[in-house]
Amino acid sequence: DGGITQSPKYLFRKEGQNVTLSCEQNLNHDAMYWYRQDPGQGLRLIYYSQIVNDFQKGDIAEGYSVSREKKESFPLTVTSAQKNPTAFYLCASSSPGLVNEQFFGPGTRLTVL
Amino acid sequence: SQELEQSPQSLIVQEGKNLTINCTSSKTLYGLYWYKQKYGEGLIFLMMLQKGGEEKSHEKITAKLDEKKQQSSLHITASQPSHAGIYLCGAVVLYGNKLVFGAGTILRVKS
């Protein structure tokens, strides 16, 4: 079955540690996205990539980094520079173009202790 | 920047009742997505509207786009417990190939 996988489902880290969230898709989509979701705030775009080896900052990129070395993979690193990293992180992918549906993964809940 | 406001923020309805959720944009809408989310899970695509006046239905859920009002509405007929969840609207940003989302509407259905 085609889809998007995110791992792990739950992640706990100590303050000051970097952590990498995994996102893999087998939908053959060119575009991939990372969102952060906080209670009452909906989804906010962190980074997006429209093609391999290229990515752009979203609205809240500070304290995060990404790479896009393979079409099917778009890992997100939450660095120690992110002041409030505890949140629910969602990865999505789509075919290129404005009007193509974004398919979402199941999400990773990151808690920084 | 474009912003989406959803109303109401939350609502509780009795099973079998109808309800409407609104999504209002601060700028012209070029495309509007509706998604549903169960708490702690990913988003499930419901439908996408592109043209003013366009109306789409999926089972008991109907969505309509009013370009003049820069607004979309989602209507659920004869609500069921399976309709419970968070409903999010997402608008296409004209330049950048990305979406901006509303804060979501939490729906609870009492049986």
pLDDT tens readout for residues A11-40: 999 988 999 999 999 999 999 999 999 987
What does the DSSP 8-state code read for residue B81? G
* Residue A6: pLDDT band with limits 50, 70, 90: very high
Of A44, A92, A98, the CB nearest to B92: A98
d(CA A70, CA A52): 6
| Residue A91 backbone zone (phi > 0: left; psi -120 to 50: alpha; other: beta) | beta
pLDDT at A26: 96
pLDDT at A55: 96
In angstroms, the separation between the Cα of residue B4 and the nearest Cα of chain A is 10
d(CA B33, CA A4): 19
Contact residues on chain B for A90, CB-CB shorter than 8 A? 42-43
pLDDT at B27: 87
Weakly modelled stretches of chain B, pLDDT under 70: 95-97
Residue A26: alpha-carbon gap to chain centroid: 16
**Does pLDDT of A100 surpass 80?**
no
* Residue A91: pLDDT band with limits 50, 70, 90: very high
Q: Return the biggest CA–CA distance within chain A.
A: 40
What are the E-state strand segments in chain B?
4-7, 10-14, 19-25, 32-37, 43-49, 55-58, 61-66, 71-76, 85-93, 98-101, 105-110
Grouping H, G, I as helix, E, B as strand and the rest as coil, residue B54 is coil
d(CA B32, CA B10): 20
pLDDT at A40: 78
* Residue A113: pLDDT band with limits 50, 70, 90: confident
Q: A36 near A43, Cβ under 8 Å?
A: yes
In angstroms, the separation between the Cα of residue A16 and the nearest Cα of chain B is 25
pLDDT at A97: 67
pLDDT at B96: 60
**What six digits make up the tokens of A1?**
């079955």
pLDDT digits (tens, 9 = 90+) for A41-80: 889 999 999 999 999 999 999 999 999 999 999 999 999 8
pLDDT at A95: 86
